[in-house]
Amino acid sequence: MAVMANQAERVFHDVVLGDLSIIRAFVRETAVSFGCVSSEIDEFVVAVDEAAANIIRHGYKGQPGIIKITVLYTGDTFKVMLCDQSAQFDPTTVASPDMTLPLAERPFGGMGVHIMREFCDDVSYRRTANGENELTLLKRVKIRNEG
């Protein structure tokens, strides 16, 4: 079966936490328009939310900034790339809380990143040639037979 790649992009200017619901809707609706089943990507949308919230809260720290979100669907993988211009930060280096430890012994933080990792099949980061942060979240999905 030939599978066509689908791609969509949206830039969020002066992004604030109140935009998170719009970001989630954009990713969810785009995925569905590309043929993904909504329930199959629900967890992935949580991961995208965690990534975007991190950028807004810890990257831009209340200052105006942009997030460019690119959604790419190739038939068996669904990718979301979040690109921002805040200070260099690689969330993939953040340690997840050790979930084997009792809650009392777990360190501060890391829960958002932990959820992001758990709900994706792959998370990767690069600093672009333009000096931007680019975080790519990947989810493998079932191939749909068109018609």
Question: DSSP secondary-structure letter at 59?
Answer: I
Residue 76 CA to residue 145 CA, distance in Å, equals 11
Stretch 20-39 residues interacting with another protein (CB under 8 A): 20-21, 24
Q: Which is nearer to another protein, 18 or 131 (CB)?
A: 18
Q: Which is nearer to another protein, 11 or 25 (CB)?
A: 25
Stretch 41-80 residues interacting with another protein (CB under 8 A): 42-43, 45-46, 49-50, 53, 56-57
Q: Which is nearer to another protein, 75 or 112 (CB)?
A: 112
Number of H helices, E strands in the chain: 3, 5
Kindly report the number of other CB atoms within 10 A of residue 63's CB atom: 9
Question: DSSP secondary-structure letter at 66?
Answer: -
- List 78's β-bridge partners, or say none: 73, 139
Region from 12-20, 78-86, 123-131, 138-146 binding another protein, contact rule CB under 8 A: 12-20
Region from 29-37, 61-69, 97-105, 120-128 binding another protein, contact rule CB under 8 A: 97-105
Is residue 123 involved in binding another protein (CB under 8 A)? no
Three-point CA angle 52, 54, 58, nearest 5°? 135
Which residues, 6+ apart, have CB-to-CB distance to 138 below 8 Å?
A: 77, 78, 79, 120, 121, 122, 123, 124
Smallest separation (angstroms) from another protein to the CB of 118:
5
Binding site for another protein (CB under 8 A): 16-18, 20-21, 24, 42-43, 45-46, 49-50, 53, 56-57, 99, 102-109, 111-112, 114-115, 118-119
